[in-house]
Amino acid sequence: MRKIIFSIVAAGSLLLSSATMNVNASTINGQASQNEVSTTNDRTAIVKVSGTKATAKTGTFKMKYNTNVRRDAGTKHGIIITAKKGAVAKATHQKKVGKQVWYKVNVSGKSGWVLSTLLSPHNVKTTAKKTTTKKKAAAPKTTAASGTYKTKYNSNIRANAGTNHKIVTLAKKGATVKVTAQKKVGKTTWYKVSANGKTGWISGTLLTKATAQKAPAKKTTVKKVSNSVASSSLINNARALLGTPYRFGGASLSGFDCSGFTQYVFRQSGKNISRTTLGQYAETKKVSNPQPGDLVFFAGTYRAGISHVGIYLGNGQFIHAAGKNVRINNVNEAYWKKYFHSYRR
């Protein structure tokens, strides 16, 4: 009898132990399943973050223009500060948004993100300045020259050879000048001439050899000209440069960028304006009824804000340096209409 009772108790314990083990195994399997799901979710989150993850970047740069520094990579993010052109920025990280690369920089005591194409290496510009200083130290020699020439355009006569010297007088297009000396500055030959009773220097690219058959140019008795005549002269000077190559940072006959072209044309017409697009925008006033000779501005073409300028010709047409060369386009063309900002005088 005792053996039978003991056998029944032992069997019950065995069944209870087996059930407990099954429950524990089920619980363990359940926890393992939950942990696996959790791990999978965590990995998914990591993959999403890594798509816009910033990586280390070092270097010292300068702002090419007045540039917006943003809270994160991309133009949709808020502006922290507008860094001035030439401001020095130190990069700490980089991030790719689409096809654009953005740098996180420290500038003017603030930290934020800037599009990499708006920056230039700091050391390159420093080297360029040192090179320029050395060139100035070596003064070009003046040699004898003679001949009679005529001006191709309204041309500035300067105190010495080079566009960095003061303007002495303006020689009108077609004016006859006599050369007495010459000097080479870089690749350009400058001639010493007499014009309007004054002596100064003019670039050889602005002169053409006068023929002996032509009569001397008539003296101009009226000093002031109407706005329409002045505009016509400016337009003629601009059209004469059609086809000149486009060169970023260029402001000479070897190549122009947009603001370099407008500055050059206005200078040939006797008016001095700023070198940059933003500078030209700041020193002009908006007009609702544009006239030939006014400036036309565009915004957002390759950077935020005012970014491109041309000279209005009338009937919706404007001349500017863009693409491969100096060309004429219409403000109503799909591309230019999209970025048109204003006419200014």
Q: List the catalytic residues.
A: 258, 308, 320
Sheet strand arrangement including 142-151:
167-171, 155-158, 198-203, 188-195, 176-185, 142-151, 207-209
Q: What is the C-alpha separation between 110 and 68, in angstroms, rounded?
A: 12
DSSP 206: G
Which amino acid is present at 176?
Answer: T
8 A C-beta contact, residue 257 and residue 326 = no
- What does the alpha-carbon distance between residue 45 and residue 211 come to, in Å, rounded to a whole number? 80
319 contacts 327 by C-beta, under 8 angstroms: yes
Round to whole Å and give the CA distance between 20 and 113.
Answer: 60
Strands 79-83 and 198-203: unpaired
Q: Hey, what amino acid is at 18? A: S
301-307 contacts: CB < 8 A, separation 24 or more? 301/339, 302/117, 303/65, 303/67, 303/115, 303/117, 303/118, 304/68, 304/75, 305/66, 305/68, 305/278, 306/277, 306/278, 306/281, 306/341, 307/277, 307/339
What would the two tokens of residue 152 be? 């191709």
